[in-house]
Chains A and B, each alone.
Chain A
Amino acid sequence: MGVNFFPAPLAAGTYVHWGVISISVTNLAIIGAMVVMFVLALVVPFPHARERSIPAQRRPDERPRS
């Protein structure tokens, strides 16, 4: 049993080209997943939202907004 210290070089991966933009499919998929997560964070209801909340109010130290 030994450790292979010299593995075969990894492939560079598949890239998407669009004009001056060149991005790997992996990075594009990660950005897409982040956009999906962002949208889900906006639309998915938060559990037990009203149980530990206080009504929106201005803090004593905060000036009225213009």
Chain B
Amino acid sequence: MTGVPVKAPAGNWTTRTRERVAHVVPEGQALPDRQPVYVASWIYVLGVLTIAAFLVVLVSGALLAVGGAAWWHVSSLGRFVNSLHLWSVELFFVFMVLHLWGQFWMASWRGHRTLTWVTGVIAFVASIGTAFTGYLSQSNFDSQWISTQAKDGLNAVGIGAWFNVLNPGQMLLWHVVLLPFAVGVIAVVHVVLVRRHGVVPPIDAEEE
């Protein structure tokens, strides 16, 4: 062993992946410790507040999955975690909508940031779907009522056979597996794109 690094062959998929990652988010851009002066505003904090609320949603949801429906309906701790899940979702949507307003009025799709904007839109829509399937997974009279109201609309657009809101097992699995996974992946892509292209400057703050 000479200690001389061996150059990976050009066809190595590991090399290609590493180079691709380095190209998407160059070194120093992933977790920068300094930002342009215009970022020092509360309006730029709303995105990370949304992520923070999302993490609380995920942790409280995982605890609900451990305890089960009887636990979250009957025990004091279960009700507390149930409420924590609900209110973290409320904050998640409040922060996300405020983030949306801020980015809309800032025209955040400027400067080749179209895909950043689009992934944010997709994350918003996926989050709404996750919230709706959550209402269907409460296993109480509310979820029963909401599902019977929702089925007509979904049947009217022709997807009721594949996405059956009267099937609590299917709705629970969409709520705890498929949709959170989708929201999480899209959120990661969204954040990577923000890091790649930088935060958008205010309209009156021309980049020098």
Contacts and interface: CB of A to CB of B under 8 A. Distances in A.
Contact of A55 (B36, B94, B102, B110): B36
A13 to B, nearest CB: 14
A46 B112 contact: no
B40 A49 contact: yes
A17 interface: no
Contacts of A57: 36, 207-208
Interface in B154-208: 197-198, 201, 205-208
B43 A54 contact: no
Given A54-B37, A55-B208, A34 B98 contact: yes
Nearest to A48: B40
A38 to B, nearest CB: 5
A44 B38 CA distance: 14
Contact of A53 (B36, B42, B111, B197): B36
B198 A59 contact: yes
B35 interface: yes
Contacts of B112: 62-63
B207 A58 contact: yes
B40 A38 contact: no
A38 B157 CA distance: 36
Contacts of A34: 94, 97-98
Interface of B: 33-43, 45-46, 74, 94, 97-98, 101-102, 110-112, 197-198, 201, 205-208
9 contacts: A3-B74, A37-B94, A37-B98, A53-B36, A55-B37, A56-B36, A56-B201, A56-B206, A56-B208
